[in-house]
Amino acid sequence: MSERDGIYDITWNWPVFLSQLLGFAVIVGALVEWVVPQVKTAMLRSQQTIRGQLEESSQATARLAAAERAFAEAAATARTEVAQIHEEARADAERIIAELRRTAAAEVARVRGYGEDRVAQVNRQLRAELGQDLTAAVLDRTELVVAERLDSPEAVSDSIDRFLDELAVHAGRAEEIRNSP
């Protein structure tokens, strides 16, 4: 056995090699002719889509940043407006409270004056009624006392004597007044 006969004995079969080379070239040609342009077109479309998405993403990022700035500005403006509205509301509340206090004080003074007038009126009315009642009671009592004293003929006689004595005293005074210069 020689080294040529061993496992490393490579022989070229030229017709098979050339036919396989031709088949490979046809396959590569077909791939280059029909598959590569479609793959290139698909890759270009994908690249354009990705570029568009990257542009949209950068635009969206810019719009997001602008929206965040606008939100921050709007929030600051809103806080300022809320503080201003709060201050105005507090001032309005203080003004309304002061006005209500003035109104209440005036109403209290009016009601107090009316009450005092009413009390004075009721006081005058009660005094008048009590005066009338007292006069009626005194007259009734006097009538009762006079009736009790004049029940007997001696009392009537004493009463007439006293009356006449008082008339005489009054007549004497009247005479003195007439005679005086």
95 with 89: CB under 8 angstroms?
Answer: no
Average pLDDT score over residue span 119-132:
90
**pLDDT for 124 beyond 50:** yes
pLDDT at res. 154: 79
Q: What count of residues does the chain have?
A: 181
Give the three-state DSSP class for 175: helix
Average pLDDT score over residue span 89-115:
93
The residue that leads in pLDDT, 141 or 90, is 90
Spatial separation of the C-alpha atoms in residues 75 and 53, rounded to whole Å: 31
